[in-house]
Amino acid sequence: MHGQLRYQMRYQMRYHWPHGMLDLKAKLALAGLVTEDDIRRVEESKRSKGKGGKNKRRGKGSGGGGAKAAHKLDVARLKTLARGEAYAAVRRWIERVRLDVPGKPPSEEAKSFHFPTAKGSIGRIVVEPDAHGWLGEGTAGVVAYMSNHGLAHAVVPADAARTLVEVFPLWLRALVGEPRAGQIEEPPPVVESGE
């Protein structure tokens, strides 16, 4: 059976356009590193995983609420972690509870939402109309967090935003009715040189 697969791969390389273009499975089989049974087993496992797959964005379209368990953030544990570990834990948590979809281009109906940054300037996040409504009602808030690429902002449910402010007070950027939202960093003390 392996010889037949090798013959088919060579035929494909020789007579089909573009010449020499094979997928990784075919290249590995041609080199003798995998068998046809290995390829069939992997393809079957992929098909079985594809059926009945879970929806990763569950609970996102229901007026600002996902599952209540997803909003739990272990504040006591986060306070004991090193800064990098705490950033990573918060980043994973925000990716689970956020109400906006990162990386998706905004629709024509999307609106800008403005908020104060920790440096005292005005920040902007472009959100869909439903998220903009949640922000205006106070059922959702804008939080800052440390993404893999630096400081980023996300729209999260109000209770999630209130939980995050307990660990990082400056990261709650906008939440209607919350006095801790929009805090500004204190400028560093001015050190005068003594001459």
Tens-place pLDDT, residues 49-73: 765 544 444 444 444 444 444 557 7
Q: What is the pLDDT of residue 195?
A: 55
Joined tokens for residue 140: 């959702």
Kindly report each contact of residues 119-122 with a partner whose C-beta sits within 8 Å and lies 24 or more positions away, as own/partner.
119/184, 119/185, 120/184, 120/185
**Domain map (residue ranges) of the chain:** 2-50, 68-174
Q: What is the pLDDT of residue 110?
A: 92
Q: pLDDT tens digits, residue range 97-109?
A: 999 888 888 889 9
Which region among 30-34, 57-61, 116-120, 191-195 has the lowest average model confidence (pLDDT)?
57-61
> For the purposes of burial, counting CB atoms within 10 Å of the CB of 91, is it exposed (0-12), middle (13-18) or buried (19 or more)?
middle
pLDDT band at 34 (very low <50, low <70, confident <90, very high): confident
Place of tokens 């393809």: 43
User: 2-11, 57-66, 118-127: which range is least confident on average?
Assistant: 57-66
Percent over 90 (pLDDT), the chain: 19
The per-residue pLDDT for 156 is 92
Query: How far, in Å, CA of 57 to CA of 102, rounded?
Result: 12
Q: Does residue 18 have a cis peptide bond before it, meaning omega lies within 30 degrees of 0? A: yes
To which H or E segment does residue 137 belong? Answer: helix 129-137
Residue 17's pLDDT is what? Answer: 47
Q: Which is it for strands 150-157 and 111-116: parallel, antiparallel or unpaired?
A: unpaired
pLDDT at 148 over 50: yes
Long-range contacts (CB closer than 8 Å, 24 or more residues apart) made by 117-121: 117/144, 117/173, 118/144, 118/170, 118/171, 118/173, 118/183, 118/184, 118/185, 119/184, 119/185, 120/184, 120/185
**Residue 36 near residue 5, CB atoms below 8 Å:** yes
Give percent above pLDDT 70 in the chain. Answer: 76
Mean pLDDT across 136-153: 90
Provide the pLDDT for residue 126: 92
Judged on CB neighbours under 10 Å (0-12, 13-18, 19+), 9 is middle
Mean pLDDT across 2-27 = 61
pLDDT at 60: 44
The whole-chain average pLDDT of the chain stands at 78
Distance CA 105, CA 110 (A): 10
Task: Give the burial string for 102-112 (b: 16+ CB within 10 Å, else e).
Answer: eeeeeeeebee
